[in-house]
Structure 1
């Protein structure tokens, strides 16, 4: 049975202690008031590392689409078998 303090990441579907809100359409692409999902920190960082805001808005505006993104497949295969709760913030710097 899961600890009451744990929640589920909506992308990798693992039970984790902490999640953050991810705008499915990034705020910079007009999604400020759009739908959000709860992602664990490793998933949130990896989404922004592998996909641009424009790609997120145009091609991956649902959790289902994110799960099928070719760029995410290797990562999702790894994280689903992992107990990792935190990875260093790996967001691209432009």
Structure 2
């Protein structure tokens, strides 16, 4: 899916592709590759499914995201996410509970 089409599909029902797990999903949300709190407010974004977006923020803090994983390829290769990515790529799950507060 071209970047422009992906941006249009973000957050809207009808199907789009998650940039991290690369699954076809009903909805995506916009993820700032450099978190807004770390200076990425106007920086690049990517479209992620809800499980991937929640898991990234569960497993990686904003400083780590900004310093080590400021690109989608870096996120795909992050050791902290490998077990999760192996699981989610084989799953049809669209939503998981937001576990951010359970650190």
Question: Which category describes the TM-score, using the shorter chain as reference length?
Answer: over 0.9
TM-score (norm 1): 0.93
Q: Does 1:37 align with 2:46?
A: yes
TM-score (norm 2): 0.85
Q: Which runs of 5 or more structure 1 residues have no equivalent in the other structure?
A: none
Match of 2:66 in 1: 57
Q: Does 1:75 align with 2:84?
A: yes
- What is the correspondence of 1:12-27 to structure 2 with a 5 Å cutoff? 12-27=21-36
Q: Does 1:66 align with 2:85?
A: no
Structure with bigger helix share is: 2
User: Take 1:47 and 1:92, find their aligned partners in 2: how far apart are those partners?
Assistant: 13
Q: Which runs of 5 or more structure 2 residues have no equivalent in the other structure?
A: 1-12
Offset from partner CA, 1:9-56 (integer Å, 9 cap, x none) = 000000000000000000000000000000000000000000010000
Structure number with greater CO (CA < 8 Å, separation at least 6) is: 1
> How far 1:90 moved relative to its partner?
1.2
User: Take 1:67 and 1:73, find their aligned partners in 2: how far apart are those partners?
Assistant: 8
Q: How many residues align?
A: 91
User: Take 1:52 and 1:71, find their aligned partners in 2: how far apart are those partners?
Assistant: 11
Q: From the superposition, tell whether residues 50 and 9 of structure 1 become closer, same or farther in structure 2 (CA, over 3 Å).
A: same
Match of 1:46 in 2: 55
